[in-house]
Amino acid sequence: MSALLTPVQFRGGAVAPNRVALAPLTNGQSQPDGSLGDDELAWLGRRADGGFGIVETCAAHVSQDGKAWDGELGVHDDAMLPGLRRLAARCAVAGGLPLVQLFHGGVRAPSKVSGSQPWSASSWHEDTPDFEVPRAGTEADIAGAIAAFAAAARRVASAGFAGVEVHGAHGYLLGQFLSRTMNQRSDSWGGDLAGRARLMREVVRAVRAAVPPPFVVGVRISPEDFGNARGLDLDENLELARWLCDDGIDFLHLSLWKSAESTKKRPGEHALPLFRAVCPPEVRLVVAGAVWTPAEAEALLARGADLVALGRAAIFNPDWPRRCADPDFQPRRPPASPEELAQLAIGPAFIRYLGRMRGLVTPRAS
């Protein structure tokens, strides 16, 4: 049997039936107020039926001022609870662990979506289209964000989810505070690594305190610069990982983008052994980044990962975990037509979103 299909236990006691996770994927399929949409329910439910050991939602905003895009799932208000209960129950049917990814967009929560000027660690300007200058967050903003993350964790726990992942990757609010370039504060929320990491750590501690074991609490980070994640240093993030383990996380999710490649700072070394060395064995390591085949996933387990998260491979192969033990399994790769994607439980909004990325969606059949 493939190692991918063996169970994995978190230190609080929760058990995932296998080591294949659905990565959190933006899909735009929820309602304008953030409540669950039927297409989002179908998308996640289909992957749960496909055997994913962990089924994780898209990034879900913990407060209205952190909402980053239209169609985003909300966990910011008790009015979201009916949909969240439906989603948790649907995803748990097949035996996997349903998780919610908690996030705040910071500078990437534009006023046209959130309804208010975005705020971040500092105020700065970028000469890029549609950039909206953020204001520097106040003590009240920061305290409010910490409380919102904790309240969201309690909310999704009451809805029946097995855990949460705090989104500290990809240049959202927590990553903006961690960044050496985006965080120019001179108070206790900036400066050295301890100051810049303080918001992420305070959020994690508040979330951990808000929910009892075996509720799973994890964090996703970008180990180095990529895309919107900027101002990051590999060695600083290794120290951050040590601190987060001390703060009580059950897993650390490394967003590598290209998981087969070595780190930029240390070209001869892969990130997984480096983070495995600083995290105790009871803290599970999850890795994501352009994984398509079972062989690629198993190679990451051999390097120190406990679970492998699939993004695009899960879009095109909803039964990937159920098929990965078959030596003849060749995962389907893009592109696919809108009609074919609809057969994979991908709704119109998600299809439009995927269509903005090169090579994923073919023209609609005539």
Question: Three-class SS of residue 226?
Answer: strand
Query: 156 pairs with which residues across the strands?
Result: none
Question: Three-class SS of residue 114?
Answer: helix
Q: Are 173 and 105 in contact (CB under 8 A)?
A: yes
3-333: CATH superfamily? Aldolase class I (3.20.20.70)
Task: Evaluate if residue 159 carries a pLDDT over 90.
Answer: yes
Q: Are 120 and 175 in contact (CB under 8 A)?
A: no
Query: 308 pairs with which residues across the strands?
Result: 20, 287
Distance separating the N- and C-terminal Cα atoms of the chain: 44
> How far is 328 from 314, CA to CA, in rounded Å?
18
Going by pLDDT thresholds of 50, 70 and 90, the confidence category of residue 310 is very high
Measure CA 122 to chain center: 24
Q: Mean pLDDT of all residues in the chain?
A: 97
> Residue 317 is encoded by which pair of tokens?
């192969």
Q: What is the pTM of this model?
A: 0.97
Task: Evaluate if residue 366 carries a pLDDT over 70.
Answer: no
Task: Evaluate if residue 365 carries a pLDDT over 70.
Answer: no
Location of structure tokens 């370039």: 181
Res 318: pLDDT: 98
Give residues with Cβ within 8 angstroms of 362, minimum separation 6: 335, 336, 337
Q: Span 184-193, mean pLDDT?
A: 98
Task: Evaluate if residue 200 carries a pLDDT over 60.
Answer: yes
Q: Which residues of 20-43 are buried (b: 16+ CB within 10 A; e: fewer)?
A: bbbbbbebbbbbeebbbbebbbeb
Res 66: pLDDT: 98
H-helix or E-strand spanning residue 164: strand 163-167
> How far is 24 from 66, CA to CA, in rounded Å?
17
What is the DSSP code (8-state) at residue 336?
B
- For the chain, the domains span 3-333
